């Protein structure tokens, strides 16, 4: 992707062009992504879907700067990721992206407040500001009264709310969520998706991996992978009858 293209599409938070990813195996390179091109603009809410082995998780790892492509170009928030060294990539990731995972990944011996504040430790933010930001975000996700509690004293849905607060603490432009409702019941999943919708209305760009069509319906746009390629990319139709799945 040329610099001129990037400049013309300045509102894009994510731009990938001709993205390839192959892993070395004893039988030779095994291709996982094959010429993927996609742009995600500021304020979008995108669901990434596809069966196991379709390439969606590898794609998300590349978007999160947790892995590098074998070929093609990736521009995150206007910066060519391939041109950055390890430290520069880590800085871009920490300043731009908030991560939410299926397994919550909270540290069991730390309070909820300290779990939320942890990313700020690595950014050199002073202790009082870390606590203030953490308390504000716990209140935002409805858990302000549990700031001093340990993770095992709250429910799975509440733990995921804490994980979302932690993802927001660095004030990212982008949230990457990998199966964030995978460990939750249907009612709690709807509550978590309502929270993501609220954050999106506030202007945060959200990219979410899910295999559940009802969860994908909360997004504004759906992108489906199959065999390492994008086979569907369209706005979500929110007027489908209950239980009906949008065709690809």
pLDDT of residue 102: 85
Residue 147 within a domain: yes
pLDDT of residue 2: 39
Query: CB neighbours of 225 closer than 8 A, spacing ≥ 6?
Result: 48, 49, 50, 54, 55, 56, 59, 231
Of 145, 146, 85, 141, the C-alpha closest to 112 is: 146
Residue 142 within a domain: yes
Per-residue b or e along 118-131, where b marks 16 or more CB atoms closer than 10 Å to that residue's CB: bbbeeeebeeeebb
pLDDT in tens, 34-85: 999 999 999 999 999 999 899 999 999 999 999 999 999 999 999 999 999 9
Domain count, the chain: 1
pLDDT of residue 238: 65
Per-residue confidence of the chain (248 residues) as pLDDT tens digits?
433 343 344 479 999 999 999 999 999 899 999 999 999 999 999 999 999 899 999 999 999 999 999 999 999 999 999 999 999 999 899 889 999 988 888 999 999 999 999 988 877 788 999 999 999 999 999 999 999 999 999 999 999 999 999 999 999 999 999 999 988 899 999 999 999 999 999 999 999 999 899 999 999 999 999 999 999 999 998 654 444 444 43
pLDDT of residue 183: 87
CA–CA separation, 170 and 133 (whole Å)? 9
H/E stretch holding 63 reads helix 56-63
pLDDT of residue 244: 47
Q: How many of the other CB atoms lie within 10 Å of CB of 197?
A: 15
Between 127-140 and 112-121, two packed helices, what is the crossing angle to 10 degrees?
130
Residue 145 within a domain: yes
Domain residue limits at 152: 102-171
Residue 221 within a domain: no
Residue 159 within a domain: yes
Residue 139 within a domain: yes
Residue 131 within a domain: yes
pLDDT of residue 242: 44
Residue 31 within a domain: no
């Amino acid at each position: 992707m040329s610099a001129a293209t990037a400049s013309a599409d300045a509102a894009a938070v994510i731009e990938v062009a001709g993205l390839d990813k192959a892993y070395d195996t004893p039988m030779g390179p095994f291709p996982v992504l094959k010429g993927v091109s996609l742009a995600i603009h500021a304020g979008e809410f995108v669901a990434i879907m596809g069966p196991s082995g379709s390439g969606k998780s590898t794609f998300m790892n590349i978007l999160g700067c947790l892995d590098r492509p074998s070929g093609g170009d990736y521009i995150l928030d206007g910066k060519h990721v391939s041109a950055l060294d390890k430290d520069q990539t880590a800085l871009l990731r920490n300043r731009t992206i908030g991560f939410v995972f299926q397994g919550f990944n909270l540290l069991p011996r730390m309070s909820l407040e300290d779990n939320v504040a942890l990313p700020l430790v690595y950014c050199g933010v002073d202790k009082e500001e870390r606590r203030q930001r953490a308390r504000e975000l716990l209140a935002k996700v409805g858990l302000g009264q549990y700031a001093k509690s340990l993770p095992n004293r709250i429910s799975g849905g509440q733990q995921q709310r804490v994980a979302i607060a932690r993802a927001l603490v660095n004030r990212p432009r982008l949230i990457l969520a990998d199966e964030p409702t995978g460990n939750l019941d249907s009612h709690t999943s709807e509550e978590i998706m309502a929270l993501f919708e609220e954050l999106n209305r506030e202007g945060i760009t959200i990219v979410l991996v899910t295999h559940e069509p009802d969860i994908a319906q909360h997004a504004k746009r759906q992108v489906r992978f199959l065999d390492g390629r994008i086979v569907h990319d369209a706005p979500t139709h929110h007027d489908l009858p209950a239980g009906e799945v949008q065709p690809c």
